[in-house]
Structure 1
Amino acid sequence: MLLQGTVVLPAQQSDVVSMPVAGVVQAVLVAPMQIVRAGQPVARIMSPELAQWLREWLMADTQARLAQGKAQRDEQMFADGIVSEHRRNESRAQYEMASVAARERRQALRLAGVGEATLAQASKTAGLSPQLTLVAPVAGTVLEQMATPGQRLEAGSLVAHIARAGSLAIELQASREQAQALRVGDALQVDGCKAPARITALSPQLSSATQGVQLRAELTGREDCLRINQFVQLRWQGSAAASAAGVLSVPAAAVVQQGGRHYVFVRQPQGFRAVVVTTGPGGGSDVVITSGLKAGDEVAVKGVAAIKGAWLGLGAEAGAGQ
């Protein structure tokens, strides 16, 4: 059974670099098709909003340290009987709230891509740098680079699209009849690849436009034989359950009809013998055989019309072959 499909990048193999805050792109440090490592700089941006976040964090961190000192003094004074328990508890609560606010702003900066070393330096010098370097989250290949120097981007805007190194997927469609013979786990031989692909999903619904069934297959090997968006042809290898039940497939040209039954011509020492077979659901260039053949049988594919003509001219032998 011959199928056609398109090579795609699975969603789980794709990562993006996006703007954590609004800003202006100062420099782009990678190009499409470039291989990058995890943590490699991708772009530098300038963001006044980032400087504001740093200032708010420094203020919150200072307030937390002051609240901590006051809470410690009141704790000691309460132990000495100088202040009441209410004042001690009030100082504790103020310190906890100030500490939570400082941690919250620090976490926002870390999520924006500001490193621990930068935060430590800012805490010592009270520096408010509006520059930020965006880095690749994973190792892979840059598929797209969407930003240009001087461009202003809002928070969440895409800067680069990175494909992780790994297996590709193939999206394909089968007719309703073909899909009845396919199962998850079936092998598909891909033109140009040594390792087969395996069907990983079959859609439970038909396409409203084509009335076909959408399938997804993934390569079992890591050979470099396909490219994203490539059109490929795949040949169904049969399912494990079908093989165990004696289900085989042969080229459509090998099957002939006579008297309402299907025949194939199996090679014998004296020539070819007509064998009645039962066909299953399928289509395209191959026909599924559910009974009548066994693995290893050699069937005629070329010159079938001539063989059929000779067979029909020898009625006695034809009857014996059935």
Structure 2
Amino acid sequence: MKRIFAIMGVLALGAALGGVALQVSPGARSVFAWIAPPRHEKQTSTQAEPAVQKDASSPSASKGEPGKPPDGLITMASEQIEAQGIEIAIVEKGILARRLTVPGTVTLDMDLVARVPGRVVGTVTQLRKRLGDSVAQGEVVAVLDSREVADAKSEYLTASVGFDLRKTMYERAQILWAKKISAEQQYLQSRATFLEAELRLDLARQKLSALKLDPAEVEKAAKQESALKSGVSSLREYEIRSLIGGRIIERKVDVGTLIGNQGDPPDLYTVADLSLVWIELAAPTADLDVIQEGQTVEITSGRDSGKRGVGRIIFISPLVDPDTRSARLIAQIDNKAQIWRPGSVVTARIVTKEEPVDVRVPRIALQTIGGEHVVFVRTPNGFLRRAVTIGRSDEQDVEIISGLSTGEQIAVKNTFLLKAELGKGD
């Protein structure tokens, strides 16, 4: 115990001497330096370290730290955007359209449908086209064996030969009468015979024309038959040609079928040009005031939403069906791609009014967060939520009054995924 008090006394004496040393000269301070314990400086330096650390963690030292990211920022790599099927589009001007939706049915354009008639009495010997085959205008599609055609060709050939003979005799009689070698009565008789042969030839030529036969072709075929000495059997053949180009949609006869008589099939084929088709629509009477000929019609398939097309109204019936209280409309649509099949059911949207807007975005690009309409603007590292003010709209697009400008890129598909991602961050 006495030892402890002795140590404490020595320490107190050293502290007093240290205080005195602060007031004396530097030389005197060195005399008392031996009294201070050697570990005193280490303790002092150790006690000073926390003060330095505290200063480093003070608010003044944290001013250089980066700030927090802006609200609504979604970091997403390009690979993630593509994998989730998020499509991006540029904001542009556009037109909002008022549409009237009505049901419709695809039908043939009746201006582009033609039947292939037999024209003569005969028997079908060849059918050169099948169902679905394409044909050109004037192409031979069938061949008949017809006695009527043979008689018409023979009559023309006979009249042609008789005309040439009577013409030669008339020219000779005319020369003899001019030289006073023959009597005038003989000349007049020869002239009458020539005029009769000419009339007979004209009648035979008209009969061939009624059968759509070329007299020159008939004479050429007769000469070939005569040179080959194969008889006149080819005179019975009658070629049936298509009146228009298109596709065979119906065949009504078979080989060996008799046609032309009463009770026989009147037609061989039905040909339709399917490059254009009609859409028959039924519009309620209450909507007829806003429908006009020439208006645009957007056509979509009832079963396959991928089939889309644009046509125009070409006919509005002046009559109203008393049972359905609707009027018949016809729209014409291009069908060169052969995607519209007559008889199929479609949905038609008649554009009754168009309004231009400065900023237009698809309706599916909008999301509602916290009672606000927002879009997701593309950034270098992902997307940024931005609140917008909407205006007019139609079934597909919406006008943006404020919050967005043309030329910016926004997400236009699967935006609900971005909304969900933003919810995770919150």
TM-score with structure 2 length normalisation? 0.53
Q: Which residue of 1 aligns with 2:279?
A: 170
Identical columns (%): 20
Amino acid at match of 1:103: D
Residues 388 and 400, structure 2, Cα contact 8 Å, conserved in 1 = no
Q: CA RMSD in A?
A: 3.5
Residues 275 and 335, structure 2, Cα contact 8 Å, conserved in 1 = no
Q: Which residue of 1 aligns with 2:220?
A: 120
d(CA) in 2 for partners of 1:2, 1:91: 79
- Aligned positions of 1:99-178 closer than 5 A: 99-115=198-214, 116-122=216-222, 125=226, 127=232, 129-154=235-260, 157-178=266-287
1:220–1:24 CA distance, 2 compared to 1 (3 A): closer
1:173–1:61 CA distance, 2 compared to 1 (3 A): same
| CA deviations over 1:132-172 (Å, ceiling 9, x no partner) | 22233333210111111121111682011111252111121
| CA deviations over 1:7-47 (Å, ceiling 9, x no partner) | 12222212222112101112222111111233433222111
Structure 1 or 2, whichever has the larger Rg, is 2
How many residues of Structure 1 are paired with residues of Structure 2 in the alignment? Answer: 260
Residue range with higher mean Cα deviation, 224-233 or 103-112: 103-112
Instruction: Indicate yes or no: 2:296 matched with 1:187.
Output: yes
| Unmatched runs of 5 consecutive residues or more in structure 1 | 247-266, 276-285, 287-294, 299-322
Instruction: Indicate yes or no: 2:354 matched with 1:243.
Output: yes
1:68 alignment partner, one of 163, 167, 180 = 167
| CA deviations over 1:225-273 (Å, ceiling 9, x no partner) | 20122221101122xxx43799xxxxxxxxxxxxxxxxxxxx7968889
Amino acid at match of 2:243: P
Q: Which residue of 1 aligns with 2:105?
A: 6
Residue range with higher mean Cα deviation, 55-64 or 19-28: 55-64
1:98–1:220 CA distance, 2 compared to 1 (3 A): same
Q: Which residue of 1 aligns with 2:137?
A: 38
Quote the offset at 1:178 in angstroms.
Answer: 1.7
Amino acid at match of 1:231: V
d(CA) in 1 for partners of 2:109, 2:184: 61
1:106–1:180 CA distance, 2 compared to 1 (3 A): same
| Unmatched runs of 5 consecutive residues or more in structure 2 | 1-99, 301-305, 358-372, 375-386, 402-426
Q: Higher helix share goes to which structure? A: 2
1:120–1:103 CA distance, 2 compared to 1 (3 A): farther
Instruction: Indicate yes or no: 2:399 matched with 1:296.
Output: yes
| CA deviations over 1:103-126 (Å, ceiling 9, x no partner) | 332342344244543432325738
Quote the offset at 1:221 in angstroms.
Answer: 6.5
Q: Which residue of 1 aligns with 2:177?
A: 78
Quote the offset at 1:87 in angstroms.
Answer: 5.8
**Secondary structure of 1:224's partner?**
coil
1:270–1:228 CA distance, 2 compared to 1 (3 A): closer
Residue range with higher mean Cα deviation, 182-191 or 96-105: 96-105
**Secondary structure of 2:270's partner?**
strand
Quote the offset at 1:211 in angstroms.
Answer: 2.6
Amino acid at match of 2:122: G
d(CA) in 2 for partners of 1:165, 1:91: 59
TM-score with structure 1 length normalisation? 0.68
